[in-house]
Amino acid sequence: MKSLKNVIWLLVPVLLCSYSLSAQHKKDKKNKEAAAVDTVKKAPVKAGITDKIKGSAKSEGLFTLYLDTAKGTMQLYIKKEQLGQEFIYQSFSMGGPTSLFLNQNMIRTTWVFKIKKTYDKLEFLQANTSFWYDPANAVSKAADVDVAESVFYSDKIVAEDANGYLVAVDGLFLSEKLDQVKPVLPPSLPPGAIFNLGNLNTSKSKYGKVRSYPNNTDVVVDLAYDNPAPLNGGGKDITDARYTRVRMQHSFLEMPKNDFRPRYDDPRVGYFSQEVDNLTTVKVADYKDVINRWNLVKKDPSAAISEPVEPIVWWVENTTPVEYRQTIVEAGEKWNEAFEKAGFKNAVVMKIMPDTATWDPADIRYNVIRWVSSAYPQYGAIGPSFVNPRTGQILGADITVEWRSGSSTPVFDDLFNSVPATEAPEKHPLALKGNASYCTMANELKAQLAAGMSMAEMMGAGSSEIKEMHKQFLYYLILHEMGHTMGLNHNMKASTMLSPAEVNNKELTHKIGLQGSVMDYPAINVANDRSKQGDYYTTKVGPYDVWAIQFGYTPFAPSNEKAGLDKILSRSTDPQLAFGNDADDMRSPGNGIDPRVMINDMSSDMITYSKDRFILVNTMMGKLKEKYSKQGQSFAELRSRYGILVNQRFGMAAGVSRYIGGVYVDRSFVGQNSPNKPFTAVPKEKQKKAMEVLSTYVFAPNAFAADSYLFPYMQMQRRGFNFFGNPEDYKPQSTALMVQQTVLSQFFHPTTLSRINNSGLYGNTYSVAEVFNDLTAAIFNADLKTSVNLYRENLQAEYVRALTNVVNSAPGAGYDNASKAAAYNSLKKIKTSLGTAASPDEQTKAHRAYINFMIEKALAVK
Ligand SMILES: [Zn+2]
């Protein structure tokens, strides 16, 4: 009864309210809200705020929080003047299952929200920031008509006073209303494939630290999840899969009040951005995407170079090993070389967090470089930032370096752990969307470092040289992650700046860098001849980095901004400024177009560089056992080092394979006088050269001959009963096949084959039929008159299987007719040539009979 009465009573002010609104519809919004407020003031007197906050701890700031110290419940005080204003929401994971990307201090969701009063409730609404309307265009009057704000929380006002309202917020914070912590699993994933938190248990969930400052309010919560019957134990970081805790931080930030002007994105430079559609244009591609960048303002606007009013201050957390701190500080300060060219002195300030510091590194007002030891590092290192979605202004950033504890030499537990991830983490089914920049570089880089250290040691490098190599590695890692926090995304084309003859020229690399940018994942630069060794990694920002910072940060007056930026952008045709990010992730076979935009490569001539590296790896194989079977130790290290070297072959093979069917991409605009067209097929002779290198070092019968003597020693150290699910004997054929398959899967990807044919219409002269001819020759000719060894049996069978798959593929598989025809003809030719083969032994006879059978079956009319 009572509630019904309330409803009826409430209807009256609503009617009054809407009447009064319609009467004054021309007045501005503020007045409307004032009218609503006036109406409610006549509501029955609510309990006083003082009553409701008895026994609560108060945190005063942007929003004032009252935490009931007896019950653990929380109330939020919202000032009336805050109603209708925009605020920024930012979430962080502060600890949770690493497999769900809930690691410590991960920057997660960012959006803009408002609080509105409706009847006796406060409503929290998420704004849609995806659209832009030119205020000069009449269409802007209809702005946002089809864009509804999302109400993510609504609750009754507990109490009010003259200045504001008190509202209970347990339902907001101790829930997933702000950030959807528990991932929605794609239905295609089999149950148990990914660790499942189960259901949120609100009664076990509680508040952690709360902080409120004038510009931000942070609430840390411990969310408890129960899963009575977990199918997936979740790894060693999960104590008990039935009961998991996720620590989250919810931050409410004031919308920055400054004259920061958004800078619009340009496809020729790689910045993270906020995608915004212009709904008041008919022009093609007239986006209003704003780049992520810090608000740097010159102290002295008239000076050519000035200190910024507020520099970008970084703190090296006091958990960082003491011996690395100075290197991190120096590497960070190197970015100032780039900012100086954009008009700023000391834009980046690096500080070491004193052990006596009283501030919390999780406080979002501090940008922290932290060093953590994670059970299952997902990223190796990450350099995310959080931004104002309205303008792209970076509001804060953190760098986390995840490091498996132990020595500075990364040692892999198992051979296959050293294989670089072929799948980018952003493609992970649970990957977060938004501004976080997932960066697997540290993992790739660590694999490269491990290889570099092994090769250099075997070539006689002493401990001081190894130390120097490690220092360069750390330098590069920090430069790269810092680059992300400046707003830069990857530039996987940057390692192509210097020729193989130049990469070891220290005079040159100390002047302009080893690469155009630190935003690449390069192969470690190890010279085959130690006396010629240059830098292993670049230790300075490259020309591209300087240029990108100029584009993003050079201050301009509004009147000359366009001209100024155009002038900077006009330089994009300079080869030192080459740019290509990993938007079409080139790590996976079939992806990527431009072979120069690749990870784990080096120099402007990767084919030559890779040849040198294959030779070096094969030479080092011969020294491996002597160097790494150590007195009184098991063979675990030898096995690990072997994997590290094989990984080099893997990376080189993948890099070279992209040249076949590759198309160079140039993003210059019309009128920039670029010597290139936007798309140019890789010249045939270059593609043939790539094929030759792969024939010799990946497909040839003796490609893995240097390894054989090691196989009897490839023993893991026994631990309990655990041999990683397999019998412990070593399986060399799988290792070799893995390297060969990475190449075959690139060639046989429908996208690659179709591109070879398509680019034939605009310049490519290496047809699929010729590619297959050369592959057939590389895979069959050398042992046509002799025995076929185990590597080649696998390779020939897999190659024939791949051809068969093309011929017999379903229409939806994506193989075009020209590829099918070429595959069909290749199978016929292989069959004919096998008719002339000599098989001196029983296994070779059996193998050829099987190949013949496969071909006949494939060609049989169904
Ligand atoms: Zn990265």
Interval 141-179: pLDDT, tens? 777 666 788 999 999 999 999 999 999 999 999 999 999
For the segment 28-36, the average pLDDT, to the nearest whole number, is 46
Write the secondary structure of 722-770 as one string of H (helix), E (strand) and C (coil): ECCCCCCCCCHHHHHHHHHHHHHHHHCCHHHHHHHHHHHHHCCCCCHHH
Please tell me whether residues 855 and 792 are part of one structural domain.
yes
407: confidence class by pLDDT, cuts 50, 70, 90:
very low
Work out the percent of the chain whose per-residue pLDDT is above 70.
87
232: confidence class by pLDDT, cuts 50, 70, 90:
confident
Please tell me whether residues 152 and 172 are part of one structural domain.
yes
For the segment 654-671, the average pLDDT, to the nearest whole number, is 95
In a domain, 860, yes or no: yes
| Spacing, Cα 440 to ligand 1 middle (Å) | 6
| Spacing, Cα 562 to ligand 1 middle (Å) | 29
Nearest to 621 by CA among 643, 598, 601: 643
The DSSP call for residue 502 is T
| Spacing, Cα 492 to ligand 1 middle (Å) | 10
| Spacing, Cα 141 to ligand 1 middle (Å) | 41
Backbone angles phi, psi at 143, to 5 degrees: -55, 140
Please tell me whether residues 2 and 100 are part of one structural domain.
no
Please tell me whether residues 120 and 9 are part of one structural domain.
no
In a domain, 862, yes or no: yes
Please tell me whether residues 13 and 58 are part of one structural domain.
no
Please tell me whether residues 29 and 76 are part of one structural domain.
no
E strands present in 192-306:
199-212, 216-226, 243-254, 273-274, 277-278, 290-291
| Spacing, Cα 516 to ligand 1 middle (Å) | 15
Record the tokens describing residue 134, joined without a space.
Answer: 């030119």
pLDDT at 5 over 90: no
pLDDT higher at 725 or 147: 147
- Report the chain's mean pLDDT, rounded to a whole number: 86
pLDDT at 718 over 70: yes
In a domain, 300, yes or no: no
In a domain, 198, yes or no: yes
Count of structural domains within the chain: 3
The model's pTM is 0.88
In a domain, 453, yes or no: no
Please tell me whether residues 216 and 76 are part of one structural domain.
yes
For the segment 405-422, the average pLDDT, to the nearest whole number, is 33
| Spacing, Cα 444 to ligand 1 middle (Å) | 10
| Spacing, Cα 383 to ligand 1 middle (Å) | 7
* Residue ending a domain, choose from 223, 254, 285: 254
For the segment 561-567, the average pLDDT, to the nearest whole number, is 96
Q: Half-sphere exposure (CA, 13 Å, Cβ side) for 91?
A: 24
Please tell me whether residues 834 and 810 are part of one structural domain.
yes
Of 5-14, 73-82, 115-124, 453-462, the range with the lowest mean pLDDT is 5-14
862: confidence class by pLDDT, cuts 50, 70, 90:
low
Nearest to 34 by CA among 17, 51, 47: 17
Integer Cα distance of 525 and 500 in angstroms = 10
Integer Cα distance of 581 and 584 in angstroms = 8
| Spacing, Cα 335 to ligand 1 middle (Å) | 16
Please tell me whether residues 121 and 30 are part of one structural domain.
no
What confidence tens digit (pLDDT) does each residue in 752-807 have? 999 999 999 999 999 999 999 999 999 999 999 999 999 999 999 999 999 999 99
| Spacing, Cα 581 to ligand 1 middle (Å) | 10
For the segment 275-280, the average pLDDT, to the nearest whole number, is 80
| Spacing, Cα 839 to ligand 1 middle (Å) | 51
In a domain, 484, yes or no: no
Which pLDDT belongs to residue 192?
Answer: 82
Please tell me whether residues 846 and 761 are part of one structural domain.
yes
| Spacing, Cα 826 to ligand 1 middle (Å) | 41
Which pLDDT belongs to residue 414?
Answer: 31
In a domain, 200, yes or no: yes
Checking DSSP bridges between strand 367-372 and strand 86-95, what pairing results, if any? unpaired
In a domain, 458, yes or no: no
Which pLDDT belongs to residue 188?
Answer: 81
| Spacing, Cα 832 to ligand 1 middle (Å) | 50
679: confidence class by pLDDT, cuts 50, 70, 90:
very high
For the segment 666-688, the average pLDDT, to the nearest whole number, is 95
Please tell me whether residues 807 and 829 are part of one structural domain.
yes
Checking DSSP bridges between strand 131-132 and strand 277-278, what pairing results, if any? parallel
Please state at what angle helix 790-807 crosses helix 732-747, rounded to 10 degrees.
30
For the segment 407-411, the average pLDDT, to the nearest whole number, is 36
- Under 8 Å between Cβ of 516 and 366: no
Checking DSSP bridges between strand 394-402 and strand 381-382, what pairing results, if any? antiparallel
Please tell me whether residues 74 and 8 are part of one structural domain.
no
| Spacing, Cα 448 to ligand 1 middle (Å) | 15
| Spacing, Cα 438 to ligand 1 middle (Å) | 7
Residue range(s) defining the domain that contains residue 747:
731-862
| Spacing, Cα 439 to ligand 1 middle (Å) | 4
pLDDT at 184 over 50: yes
For the segment 33-62, the average pLDDT, to the nearest whole number, is 70
